Every structure is written in C-alpha cells, then in structure tokens.
C-alpha cells in the first residue's frame, strides 16, 4: 500500500531532511491552500487561503511513519488529508503536515509569514 504526501520545506529535494524520501517516488509539484510561517530553520503551514508550493511523493507506510516521527505528529505537526492542486485540471488528495493547534498558539505570534508560499532557505 502507498500513500501520497505533499512536502513544502526541509523534506523537498535539495534540503536537509530529503534523505527520508530517498526511496519515495516524486509524482509532481503542486500547491495547497495554507499560510506558510518561517520558524527559523524550517517552515510550517497553517490553514488559510494563500497558496503553499511543494512536491508530491508516493510513499510507503514505513516512510510515512518515519515522516510522522520527524514532524512530531500529532503534537507539533498534525498530518491532514488535503487537496493538492497539480494544475488547473488536476486536484488530488494527499497527506500534508500542518502546525498543530498547540504549536500555533506560540509560533503564530512570533514568526513571519512567508508571503510567496515557497520555502527557500537560501533566500531567507
């Protein structure tokens, strides 16, 4: 069995945690509704109407479990099934990690919004 997961930060190709996806299959790029926050070394997203850009991967249950551990699911990040827009004609459902309600109470007040919805630590 495989699942689809949408990543938008350090799990993207070329970033520090991408090694967890080395056996996963890249499906495409895409976007999902949300607001991206800069937490310093990594981003988070919360519910919102802006767009977050990222990559879509096909993962095994074992890979998904390792992502859950990295993301602190469900305490720090919460994995949610969300609509991912591949292009104007293609929308699919995939797992995506959102900042948990408890973590939002702290971070939302002390971090900046990344208006572009693109995590690019090299530019930040």
Within a domain: residue 123? no
Q: Per-residue pLDDT for the chain (124 aa), expressed as one digit of tens each?
A: 569 999 999 999 999 999 999 999 999 999 999 999 999 999 999 999 999 999 999 999 999 999 999 999 999 999 999 999 999 899 999 999 999 999 998 887 788 999 999 999 765 4
Within a domain: residue 122? no
Residue with tokens 């859950």: 68
Within a domain: residue 45? yes
CA pair distance 31, 40, nearest whole angstrom = 22
Within a domain: residue 120? no
| pLDDT for the residue 1 | 58
4: Cβ–Cβ under 8 A, 6 or more apart, which residues? 27, 56, 57, 58, 59, 84, 92, 93, 94, 95
Domain that holds residue 53: 3-113
Q: Of the residues 47, 55, 62, 71, which is catalytic?
A: 71
| pLDDT for the residue 72 | 97
Within a domain: residue 20? yes
Within a domain: residue 27? yes
Within a domain: residue 69? yes
CATH classification of the domain holding 11: 3.10.490.10
Catalytic (active site) residue 78: no
Say how many domains are in the chain.
1
| pLDDT for the residue 107 | 81
Within a domain: residue 118? no
Q: What is the three-class DSSP state of 65?
A: helix
Tokens for 109? 């007040």
């Amino acid at each position: 069995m495989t699942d689809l997961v949408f990543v938008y930060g350090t799990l993207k190709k070329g970033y520090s945690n991408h090694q967890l996806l080395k056996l996963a299959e890249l499906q495409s790029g895409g976007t999902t509704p949300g607001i991206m926050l800069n937490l310093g070394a990594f981003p988070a997203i919360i519910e919102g109407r802006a767009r977050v850009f990222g990559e879509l991967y096909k993962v095994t249950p074992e890979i998904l479990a390792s992502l859950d551990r990295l993301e602190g699911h469900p305490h720090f990040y919460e994995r949610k099934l969300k609509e991912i827009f591949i292009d104007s004609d293609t929308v699919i459902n995939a797992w995506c990690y959102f900042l948990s309600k408890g973590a939002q109470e702290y971070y939302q007040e002390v971090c900046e919004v990344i208006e572009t919805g693109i995590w690019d630590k090299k530019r930040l």
